[in-house]
Each structure stands twice: as structure tokens, then as C-alpha cells.
Amino acid sequence: MSDLDLPPDTLETDMVKVRTLTPADLDWVVRIDAEHSGLRRRKYYELKLREAERDTGIRVSLAASLEGEEAGFLMARLYYGEFGQPEPVAILDSIAVSRRHQKRHVGGALMRQLLMNLRALGIDQIHTEVDWNQFAMLRFFEKTGFRPAPRLCLECHVHEPT
């Protein structure tokens, strides 16, 4: 179905079903992540999904399906006062859409639901990081309202002399 075929008062993201991510989603989350990263980060996602399960009252990690298939996921968490921020902030850790479901509004549906959930919790900001040369991700984030932050992300390589 193309966007032009949608009934009136229907958003293109309405065709995507979004729900809370659970530990039972581990296998397909690892599979979709591996499509993009080339790595099978099972232990990492086991830990992240356990954290998400503990915070089930705060729905900030989400799963998306389209036409009955797992299509994508989003993992975020809430911080209250970290990094010198006086207000609570959400951090978007991961977002991925299966290659089969890309360009079908899955990422947009996940972000739309996340933003609705954050508004309901009284959270005004969400932060994320993206490599400067991931142009498709940068375009996606720009389309969903992200802008460069007025702060500098710093890193230090531990094994290099200072």
C-alpha cells in the first residue's frame, strides 16, 4: 500500500504496530542489529533487554512489527540529572529497522511512539549520538526533529599516552 492509498486521517506510520520491547524479543533484535553492524551482540542485548524489563512502567524501549513480522526496535533510557543536566532527559541508545522493512515508516513509527511516551512522562529532551558519516541516520534524525546539540562529546583512548 502506498502513502497515496491510505484512508483519510491516517498517517503512514499507522500501519506499523508498536509495543514494549521484552526479553522474548532477543533473537530477532540480535538478528536485525547484525544486519547493520555485522556483529552478533547477543550478550549486549540480553543486558539491555533485562534493563528494559525492569523499567516496564516507563515504556522507552519499543518493538515494531509490520504485516505480522518483526520489523525494528528502539532502545532508550531515562536519566535524571546526569552529565550536569538539571532536568530529566531520555537517551536513545539504539534504533534499527530490518533491511526488508526499510523505507516503510517503521523507524518513524518507533520515534512517534517514543516521543508520545516521553511527553506523557514529562520528559522534554531526548539525546542520541550518530557517527558523522552515517548520512542516512543523520537524515532520519533530522526528519524526526533532532538538531546538533550545543555541547561537545569528548572521548579519551585509555591505552594512548596523554
Q: Which one is predicted more confidently, 74 or 51?
A: 74
Q: What is the CATH number of the domain that holds 84?
A: 3.40.630.30
Reduce the DSSP state of residue 157 to 3 states and report it: coil
DSSP conformation class of 147:
-
Reduce the DSSP state of residue 63 to 3 states and report it: strand
Residue 39 CB-density burial (10 A; 0-12 exposed, 13-18 middle, 19+ buried) = exposed
Give the residue-averaged pLDDT of 15-35: 95
What is the per-residue pLDDT for 150? Answer: 87
User: Does some domain include residue 159?
Assistant: no
What is the per-residue pLDDT for 1? Answer: 47
User: Does some domain include residue 151?
Assistant: no
Domain, as residue range, for 104: 3-143
Going by pLDDT thresholds of 50, 70 and 90, the confidence category of residue 14 is confident
User: Does some domain include residue 126?
Assistant: yes
Give the residue-averaged pLDDT of 42-57: 82
Domain count of the fold of the chain: 1
User: Does some domain include residue 154?
Assistant: no
Reduce the DSSP state of residue 67 to 3 states and report it: coil
User: Does some domain include residue 162?
Assistant: no
Neighbours of 97 (CB within 10 A): 26
What is the per-residue pLDDT for 86? Answer: 76
Give the residue-averaged pLDDT of 73-94: 84
List, edge to edge, every strand of the sheet that includes 69-80.
17-20, 62-66, 69-80, 88-97, 126-127
pLDDT reading at 2 higher than 60: no
- pLDDT tens profile 94-140: 999 999 999 999 999 999 999 999 999 899 999 999 999 999 999 99
Residue 145 CB-density burial (10 A; 0-12 exposed, 13-18 middle, 19+ buried) = exposed
